Structure 1
Amino acid sequence: MKVRQQPFYTRLAYVLISVVIIIYGMYILKDLLIPLTFSGLFALLLLPVSQFLEKYGVPRWMAIFISILMALSFFCLFCYMIYVQIIDLEEVLPQLTEKAEKWYRSFQLLIRDTFHISRTKQRIEGQKYLTELLKNNSSIITNTLSTTTGLLGNLTLIPLYVFLLLLYRDFIRVFFYKALKPVSNHRVDVVLKKVKDVIVNYVVGLIIVIGIIGILNTLGLFIMGIEHAFFFGFFAAILVLIPYIGVAIGSLLPIVFALITKDSAWYAFGVAALFGGVQFLEGNFITPYVVGSKVSVNSMAAIIALIVFGNLWGLSGLVLALPITAIIKVLFDSIESLRPYGFLIGDADHNDVKKWRVER
């Protein structure tokens, strides 16, 4: 009996409904999915360390524990270094207060001379609008704080999730064998290896990019005589975790610092020009050649992924958007019926397009 294929519009409706359900579920379950996703990425990164220790006879649970302990030690050391740098910035607080008061008085004088509003009336009106703003947005502030607190609480579970994912990795692999029974075990292993490789290569490439950008930022700030150049340079570099806009966001702090500590505003313009140049190099040369060769996702797909995951999961979504998209591409490329979609989100290769046109 010949099976009748459903019309295109019916299949399209099924796809759209499924996408809506998946996106809605991702939003509702974000407090669970965000730490689980981070845990999965960290588990893939720590897997080689755990396997190395197990190779020399260390029990699996102990090898996993040592791996997580090493990762937490590096993280605590990193946080301590940031804390030390922030403490050093306390000496700038008096200058910041003095400069802010000076700007505030200048702004008041500008308003008085332009709109003929006395400084007393400005202060009264400002207090009134501030009170109304806090009153109207108190619920938003409360919800934001409660959401942030809940998310931070869930993030503390990441070490536990990582431990369990690594401990039961063979069990999870067998689950995929059973769930994808029509597919050979070898093919499942190949796809899982591709997913692991793309994540590990992406993170390694990202670390290299952070190092390059941090060095460029630090050298530029040091040449201009900006204090704490190392902190500001690598702080902006770390924000490369947020693709396309991370370096621009990281430049705001050194620009403000230059305005406060330097007598001329040209230093701030110099800092802005420096970070603008580094942003250009990062977006057009450094990241495409270092990370782009490891994660084949085109710019349009990356931007759409940033918007979607940013709206779904906030800052965490911006960080996770590119690796999740890379995993989705690996899965699409591994399924015959979904390969066109994998091609669509992949890095645009004009030679492949021309070759396809010739063959057609």
Structure 2
Amino acid sequence: MLSEIKLPPSIKLLIGLLTVSIIVWWMYLLQEILILVSFSVLFSMLLYPLCHRLEKWHFPRTLAIFVCLLVTLAIMAGVISLIALQIADFSDTFPTFLKKGETFINELQSWASHNLHISRKKQVTELRNQSLTLLKNSGNIITNALGTTLNSLSSAMLIPIFVFFFLLYRDFFRRFFYLAFGRGNRKKIDLVCTRIYTVVQSYLLGLFTVILIVAALNTLGLWLLDIEYAIFFGTLAAFLLLIPYIGIMIGSILPMLMALITKDSPMYAVGVAGVFLFVQFLEGNFITPHIVGSKVSINPLAAMIALILGGQLWGISGLVLALPFIAILKVVFDNIDSLKHYGYLLGEAEIHHKGGGRILG
């Protein structure tokens, strides 16, 4: 064993860095399959309580899993139907929306001509040049967008299959860990698996609760400002919380555009921005820390670093998976004696304020 060999600290550090580098390289190289497996594992953990309950009611495991998947697909179908209805409403009001948009553009051109001394002719010429440039690049843009969409859809279609097998073979995987780490460590393996499941389950349920609260706050704010489709915009921005820190701000763009075009004053758009900024402040400082943070027990610095690294490694998927992944890593570190100090580094730090205004850990 490496731990039993007397090596200089510098050599151990070098071996550790090389090991981490190789793991990260393989994670990047195999990101498509690893992202698919990671999401499938999270969905399996989310569906496990229902599946376990059905099995207690003497459902065969295969039938219980099918019922869980059907319930999930029914919920997703309902959500997609609601989105489709909202889009249908958009299409009915599109002529009015387009007319107000033209009026807004004309007013903007007049403002630019009067205040910035840019003639309408120059504005039209620049707009035509930009349109031609966009058309030239549109082929590549559309091709890349379609390719990305098709790849995402094909991967998403495989998730239910992976979820089915993860739930079906969960005892098989547990026995594999017994064989890999020795049956003498059976109790410890069971403890780690239980803690991982508890942390991830708590994170997912906490995140869902946060989404519901934020959706209600967004919708209330938009409704008070009399913005059309307040429920749709508020809920959409809340679900974009799955992209930490920037998701809710991305979700504010559409209602701000709606306010600019459908309202007489641009102050409505400023009000929409204010609503989302206020909700994001509440979410980041009070709602998420109390509902999710206490269950995951990861300090904010470690969470931010994990989010940055996850985004660089796997893009948006990495942002979504970063927090549950780092929470699982902490559970593993906490239960391995030689790695407990890393688990301590990821955990919540106790800050004590002592004399002289100094902050000591």
TM-score w.r.t. the length of structure 1 is: 0.89
Q: Which letter maps to 2:43? A: F
Distance in 2 between the 1:149 and 1:99 partners? 35
Once the two structures are overlaid, the 10-residue window that deviates more, 151-160 or 11-20, is 11-20
Please say if residues 31 and 151 of structure 1, whose CA atoms lie closer than 8 Å, have aligned partners that are also in contact.
no
Aligned to 1:357: none
State the match for 1:356 in structure 2: none
Secondary structure of the residue aligned to 2:220 is helix
User: In the alignment, is residue 205 of structure 1 matched against residue 206 of structure 2?
Assistant: yes
**Structure 2 matches for 1:113-132, cutoff 5 A?**
119-120=120-121, 122-132=123-133
What secondary structure is seen at the aligned counterpart in 1 of 2:289? helix
**Are the aligned partners of 2:104 and 2:261 in contact in 1 as well (CA < 8 Å)?**
no
State the SS of the aligned residue for 2:189: helix
Q: Confirm or deny: 8 A CA contact 1:31 1:150 kept in the other structure.
A: no
Q: Which moved more, 1:38-47 or 1:210-219?
A: 210-219
Give the counterpart letter for 1:32 in structure 2: I
Query: For residues 8 and 242 of structure 2, what CA distance do their matches in structure 1 show?
Result: 43
What is the match of residue 68 of structure 1?
Answer: 69
> How does 1:184-199 map onto structure 2 within 5 Å?
184-199=185-200
Deviation at 1:222, TM superposition (A): 1.6
Amino acid at match of 2:211: I
Q: Match for residue 288 of structure 2?
A: 287
Secondary structure of residue in 2 paired with 1:149: helix
Counterpart-to-counterpart distance in 2, 1:352 and 1:203? 33
Structure 1 segment 95-114 matched on structure 2, within 5 A: 95-108=96-109
Counterparts of 1:1-360 in structure 2, within 5 Å, are: 4-108=5-109, 119-120=120-121, 122-132=123-133, 135=136, 142-143=143-144, 145-181=146-182, 184-350=185-351
Partner Cα distance (2:49, 2:33) in 1: 26
Offset at residue 152 of structure 1 (A): 2.0
Whether contact under 8 Å (1:217, 1:274) holds in the other structure is yes
| Number of corresponding residues | 353
- 1:154 partner letter: S
Percent identity of equivalent pairs:
48
How far is 1:316 from its partner? 1.7
Q: Is the 8 A contact 1:43 1:165 kept in 2?
A: yes
Change (3 A) 1:311 1:148: farther
Q: How has the CA–CA distance of structure 1 residues 285 and 118 changed in structure 2, closer, same or farther, with 3 Å as cutoff?
A: closer
User: What per-residue deviation string (whole Å, max 9, x for no partner) do you get for residues 233-273 of structure 1?
Assistant: 21111112122222222122111111111111121111111
Write the letter of the residue equivalent to 1:29. L
CA distance, structure 2, for counterparts of residue 179 and residue 4 of structure 1: 22
Q: Aligned AA for 1:156? A: M
Distance 1:235 1:162 in 2: 26
**Structure 2 CA distance for aligned equivalents of residues 199 and 59 of structure 1:** 26
Q: 1:84 to 1:129 in 2, by over 3 A?
A: closer
Are the structure 2 counterparts of residues 73 and 256 from structure 1 closer, same or farther at C-alpha, using a change threshold of 3 Å?
same
1:124 Cα deviation from its structure 2 partner: 4.5
Question: One-letter code of the match for 1:47?
Answer: Y
> 1: distance between equivalents of 2:247 and 2:60?
41
Q: Which amino acid aligns with 1:218?
A: T
**How far apart in 2 are the matches of 1:126 and 1:220?**
35
Q: In structure 1, list runs of 5 or more residues that go unmatched.
A: 354-359
Task: State the SS of the aligned residue for 1:348.
Answer: coil
Contact residue 206 and residue 291 of structure 1 kept, 8 A: yes
Task: Give yes or no for contact 1:95–1:260 (8 Å, CA) kept in 2.
Answer: no
Per-residue deviation, 1:143:
4.4
Comparing 118-127 with 20-29, which one deviates more in the overlay? Answer: 118-127
Structure 1 partner of 2:357: none
> TM-score scaled by structure 2?
0.89
Label 1:163 to 1:3 Cα distance change in 2 as closer, same or farther (>3 A).
closer
* Runs of 5+ unmatched residues, structure 2: 355-360
- Give the C-alpha shift of residue 311 in structure 1: 2.1
Residues in 2 aligned to 1:7 and 1:281: alpha-carbon distance in whole angstroms: 49
User: For the structure 1 residues 184 and 81, does the alpha-carbon distance in structure 2 shift closer, same or farther, using more than 3 Å as the test?
Assistant: same
> Could you tell me whether the CA contact under 8 Å between 2:177 and 2:189 is conserved in 1?
yes
After TM superposition, the structure 1 stretch with the greater mean CA deviation from structure 2, 175-184 or 326-335, is 175-184
CA distance in 2, matches of 1:280, 1:156: 36
For the Cα contact (< 8 Å) 1:232–1:254, is it kept in 2?
A: yes
Distance of 1:293 and 1:299 partners within structure 2:
11
Distance in 1 (CA, whole Å) between partners of 2:292 and 2:91 is 37
Shifted more, 267-276 versus 95-104: the winner is 95-104
Q: Which amino acid aligns with 2:95?
A: P
